[in-house]
Chains A and B, each alone.
Chain A
Amino acid sequence: MKYEACIGLETHVMQKTRTKMFCGCKHEYGAAPNTNVCPVCLGYPGALPVFNAKAIELCCKAGLLLGCKINPHSKWDRKNYFYPDMSKNYQITQADQPLCLGGQIVTEVNGELKTFTLERIHQEENAAKNTHAASGSLIDYNRAGTALMEIVSTPCMHSADDAFAYIQALKLIMEYGGISDCDLEKGHMRSDVNVSVRPVGQEKLGAKVEIKNMNSPSFIVEAIKYEIERQIEVIENGGKVVQETRGYDSDRGETFSQRTKEDAHDYRYFPEPDLLPVEISAAQIAQWKSELPELPVQRRERYVKELGLPDYDAKVLTAEKSTSDFFDAACKKTKQYKLVSNYMMGKVASLVTEKSIRVVESKLTPDALAQVADLVSGGTIGSSAANELIEILFTAGGDPKAVVEAKGMAQVNDDSALEKWAEEAIAGNTKAVADYKAGNPASINSLMGYVMKQSKGKANPPAVIAMLKKKLDA
């Protein structure tokens, strides 16, 4: 029998706010444990939560970027559970009236354009960080109560590749939209993955397994592949897939059954009495819409249409926001867009890989790269010198023109120097000269090679060719 997998993702995204969701404690990564805490986020009795306006704005803007309908009236609820990472013994979340409804992500999967539909986005709060030691567990409440959005897809994906493309596209939109930094190592983006399989043609979904709390897209891919195979095997062997929560063990590349925290997830949701509803007017939505930044798809289109770049360049350059921002900044300083693009995808990209840092963390500035492009297009330096120059600017910084001067990188355009080398080349290579005169234009290359060698690579190739031709054809 043939089977089809149905995959849905619940992706938690930590928003880029300065303070927490319901209190004015700072939201910062790496602070000393339990220093950004107060009666609200520690769940002291009587402390009252108040919405962070910026978080509501970012959640709605995320919704607008993803084509959601913004709910004119939303409310918050308590999700009750007993676990030390949530000291109130409930999480404030949204059950039946979330901020954003519907929406979709359109993205390419193996060259095919696919639309993945969303169910909703709701605004909730993050839990504290637990560290497990032999004698007990340690809790740091700095993360407790920070703003967390949950983006819920429908079970619209059918393969690990679909899920991977969905996560990558979602991450890019969140980054470009200024909603979240999506730093996976800081846990800014984590997904719960629901996987079920059913015989092809069957409408009803199979029993679903939830794999909790994964941040690495490659682990998500591995976990989904494993889980699809496992479930098909269970069914093929005459068994039944049990609806359950499973963890993923990345060392073994397997999912494993987890004991559930709560019987049948009985969270006993009820309306949060401490928070009033939020209403969002059409005027507010229009205002937010007008503030939305350019998305990767739009930027890619602009690179092709306005900068005249090939679609391949546009795709590569927009794959990461900071790289694309760097390219944009450089293109404000020069008109040599294609040259800048070539250096971004060539020398700069290889330095980024080699040094394991992002271009924005290097000493290279967009302005300096623009100047390199201008120096090349103006004939001041050749392409090998340009690569050398970029490496110096990347690792040590500096003013491109000053570096060219100091290192003697400028090309030789000076006619008298070129003339001397050309004459030497002609005098010392009688065979090549004879071949050229006999009608073999390619033999000029060996003369050219001689000049380049003599000039230590600094002669300007087009000027050398012109000089040689002038001498030979005279």
Chain B
Amino acid sequence: MGAYILRRLWQMIPTMLGVVLLVFFLFNWVGGDPAYVLAGKISNQEQIDNIRRQLGIDQPYYVQLGIFVKQILTANFGASWSTNEKVSHILLTRLGPSLTVLVPLLILSTLISIALALAVAYVRGSLTDRLVMIVCTIGLSVSILVYIIVFQYVFAYKLGWFPVQGWGDGFWHNLAVYASLPILISLVVSIAPDLRLYRTFMLDEINQDYVRTGRAKGVSENRIMWVHVLRNASIPIITNLMSSLPGLLLGSFLIERFFSIPGIGREVILAVERSDFPVIKAITVYVAFATILTNLLADLTYKAVDPRVQLK
């Protein structure tokens, strides 16, 4: 196990290197020269050159790349080019609001999707199963933007159950007051695809011999579904779940924009709009790192869930 983990960690290096090169060259080729924007409405070439010098983008590419690598190794990405706020401070302060929405969402969405998937898989082929699938398909076909606009209008404006937008100070206050509607919308959006996917995993298992054997031996349906089927269907579910974890670091920019949640998703969009490379670099690198780590974590969880899995 230890050797496996070490090998996987070692394999992270070329992957990260690829990410670094991709981000660096994408920014330099298509990112635009931020000096022209930062220079203000009226500027001459000398002022623009001064800004480029201060930002370090007048350096040869290999020097800039070296600085980028050093920043990753020291976890110090400097300050935002447009606001001068430290990148580490940006990440620390914006991550909280995003996680306040996304962590409860992930937990609720997973639990509800699994429970519903088990239920509809159990009554597969029935009218209920078909109705749920039709609703899911319709739900999947509608853009999240429509959900946001309609839910904000109906539940926040018309019914007044939630504030239209905003963000407070305390975690519980935010969770109860400001995050509720965004979580509700995200739940509606995320349950449909998860439910369809998990139902497929469940159906694959329900048709297995061990289920028939269990029933023949008189094991209760509840135990078959919640213990045996769920356990065996858990590997693809874990894969799906783990792949969504790095998304926590990216937030949900549409939800954050519409509900004025000062999260990381809004920050990413702001950074792109402002060609704020230090922020873009840091977030990209951390998300890549998180993706690799969660993949590793997923593999280790497979082993814990199913002892037949061999880690090579």
> Is A bound to B?
no
